[in-house]
Amino acid sequence: MKFIVSSTYLLKQLQVLGGVINSSNTLPILDNFLFELQQNQLIVSASDLETTMSSKLDVESDNEGSIAVPARLLLDTLKTFPEQPLTFVVEENNTIEISSNHGKYALAYADGAEFPKAVALENPSATTISGDILATAVSKTIFAAGNDDLRPVMSGVFFQFSTEGLTFVATDAHKLVKYTREDIKASQVAEFIMPKKPLNLLKGILAASDEDVTIEYNDSNAKFTFENTELVCRLIDGKYPNYEAVIPKENPNKLSIDRTQFLNSVRRVSIFSNKTTHQIRLKIAGAELNISAEDIDYSNKAEERLTCDYQGDDMQIGFNSRFLTEMLNNLTSDEVQLEMSLPNRAGILTPVDGLDEGEQVTMLVMPVMLNS
């Protein structure tokens, strides 16, 4: 088995696949990349049993074969090479030899047959979506997903496809984000919960890519196919909570304000908040928003006044500043609107501008009780 490939081209593909490999694996074979050579095409795969990702690379060869190569060792070696062709030759003594312009390097390999095979999806449904839209949907929602092992359904992003549009939802019970695209429709209704790890990988690869991604899914697995790459992952099992029920419908109090100004103010004031509750207080009266925080234990306090556009009754409401900062950071609009009904009901944060046609973002943040 022998093939020739460009060093930087190989490195670029392997770095993407390397994101799948865990730092400590129960099965030693998972510390490897699987190389499957089919004449002038090399298929490289990486897996952690839950997620398997593979890429097709063009190489010069007329051989066939499959071996498992140590991932860390190969990546560390490739990072040091300038652009040049590398020749890989499988030797008799269970090593694969790499020849560069300056030297030779031998790595021990394992049998490719030991590597776990990716799941084949039986009668899947499919939807096609543009790569950058998928990347946007993931980055707008994934930060709100929970990390609680006891509630695994909340640790992923909920994909809801219908003939009206696509919806992506993430929540950890303190904050919730719902991202909707009405300009893309699925052929049939489907719902599934995607784990965070494969989504973070996809987000990194697809950002600013106009490639179309085909998403195939059944009850237990999903498969994403684009360009020369394929990612198959196991879905999170369980029923997603009824998120529509927690979004308050009647919100008579509406506050519009410049996003950057609001974000900077919240950031500054929150430095003075209690280190365990991160509580800040918003006091709104007329066209004035008063943001304050106090840490009674250390006698620290801060207060800022901003002008805003407000329709509704005068009110005071408390929020966890970390959640508010995270949400404001994740929006890209110049102006945001915060809708509220009562101090003990969730506030709804939405961008006023900067959205594409058919795109909607709704963020919900739970209030914290104020000690008057």
pLDDT value at position 209?
A: 85
- Please give the biggest Cα pair distance in the chain: 82
325-362, pLDDT tens digit by residue? 999 999 999 999 999 999 999 999 999 999 999 999 99
Whether residues 145 and 181 share a domain: the answer is yes
Whether residues 180 and 96 share a domain: the answer is no
Quick check: is 342 in a domain?
yes
Whether residues 214 and 287 share a domain: the answer is no
Tell me what the pLDDT averaged over the chain comes to.
95
Instruction: Write down which residue in 114, 149, 179 finishes a domain.
Output: 114
Quick check: is 120 in a domain?
no
Whether residues 273 and 318 share a domain: the answer is yes
Structure tokens of 354?
């900067």
Whether residues 77 and 160 share a domain: the answer is no
Quick check: is 325 in a domain?
yes
Whether residues 105 and 158 share a domain: the answer is no
Whether residues 261 and 328 share a domain: the answer is yes
Instruction: Write down which residue in 92, 114, 136 finishes a domain.
Output: 114
258-274, pLDDT tens digit by residue? 999 999 999 999 999 99
69-90, pLDDT tens digit by residue? 999 999 999 999 999 999 999 9
Residue 216: which CATH number?
3.10.150.10
Whether residues 235 and 174 share a domain: the answer is yes
pLDDT value at position 16?
A: 94
Quick check: is 345 in a domain?
yes
pLDDT-derived band at 372 (thresholds 50, 70, 90) equals: low
Highest mean pLDDT pick, 19-23, 184-188, 208-212: 19-23
Q: Is the pLDDT of residue 286 over 70?
A: yes
Whether residues 11 and 55 share a domain: the answer is yes
107-134, pLDDT tens digit by residue? 999 999 999 999 999 989 999 999 999 9
| Count: domains in the chain | 3
Q: Is the pLDDT of residue 291 over 90?
A: yes
Instruction: Write down which residue in 114, 137, 154 finishes a domain.
Output: 114
pLDDT value at position 54?
A: 97
Instruction: Give the global pTM.
Output: 0.92
pLDDT value at position 207?
A: 85
Quick check: is 119 in a domain?
no
Q: For strand 335-340 and strand 288-295, is the pairing parallel, antiparallel, or unpaired?
A: unpaired
Domain range holding 357?
Answer: 248-368
Whether residues 329 and 341 share a domain: the answer is yes
Q: Which residues contact 345 (CB under 8 A, 6 or more apart)?
A: 248, 367
Please, are residues 187 and 97 in contact by the beta-carbon 8 Å criterion? no
Rg (CA), the chain: 25
Rounded average pLDDT over 289-318: 96
Whether residues 198 and 264 share a domain: the answer is no
Structure tokens of 214?
């085909």
